[in-house]
Structure 1
Amino acid sequence: MKCISVYTKDFALFSDIYEQIMDAPPADNEELIIEGVTVSDAGEVPDQYIERMRVKPEVVVMKEKERNVTILQHGEVFEICMPSAQSA
């Protein structure tokens, strides 16, 4: 799965820029600044990563079923995980 890291703890701000990120995700090893928030390509993560994170009490897991995207929030970062083929 492809993973994009969004460095903010502000859910409202994340929600505001989410569609921009999905419309133009960062390229491999690229880092972008969108509305003052750092957004970077975090590379590939194994499918088990989401399951490992899901059991941690400090992690919030959100699912966008339409695009098969899982969003993890923990600490001051959101991670957008999507099937690799979708990112092409």
Structure 2
Amino acid sequence: MKCISVYTDNFEQFSDIYEKVMNTPLQDDEEIEVDGITVYAAGEVPDQYVERMRQKLDVVVMRVKEHNITILQHGKQFEIIIPTEQNMVH
């Protein structure tokens, strides 16, 4: 799964730039700024990452069902977790 970190704790700001972030091709370890907010393509995270984060009391978990995307909010960041092709083939 691929992880993109968006460094804001403001849900409204995150919502405003979400589509732009999703439509911007990013390489692993690439950092950009979108409307004044830092966005970082963190690369791959293990499949268990989302489950581990779900267990924490200070993490909000959101789903974009039609795209099988998970969004985690914790601390001062949002993490967009996107399944990669190879993980979808079992």
The aligned counterpart of 2:88 is none
Matched residue type, 1:63? R
User: How far does residue 63 in structure 1 lie from its aligned partner after superposition?
Assistant: 0.3
Unaligned runs of 5+ in 2: 86-90
Note closer, same or farther for the CA distance 1:58–1:25 as it changes in structure 2 (3 Å cut). Answer: farther
- Change in Cα spacing, 1:56 to 1:43, as seen in structure 2 (3 Å) is same
| Deviations 1:9-34, CA, capped at 9 Å, x for gaps | 00000000000011114222110100
Q: 1:62 to 1:6 in 2, by over 3 A?
A: same
Tell me the secondary structure at the aligned position of residue 9 of structure 1.
coil
Counterpart mapping for 1:1-88 below 5 A: 1-85=1-85
How many residue pairs get aligned? The number is: 85
What are the superposed Cα offsets for residues 49-82 of structure 1, whole Å, 9 maximum, x if unpaired? 0000001000000000011000000000100001
Q: CA RMSD in A?
A: 0.8
Max Rg structure: 2
- Structure 1 runs, 4 residues or longer, greater than 4 Å off: none
Say which SS state the counterpart of residue 28 (structure 1) adopts: coil
Tell me how far apart the structure 1 counterparts of residues 72 and 25 of structure 2 sit (CA, whole Å).
17
TM-score calculated relative to the size of structure 2: 0.91
Q: Find the aligned partners of 2:19 and 2:34 in 1 and give their Cα distance.
A: 11
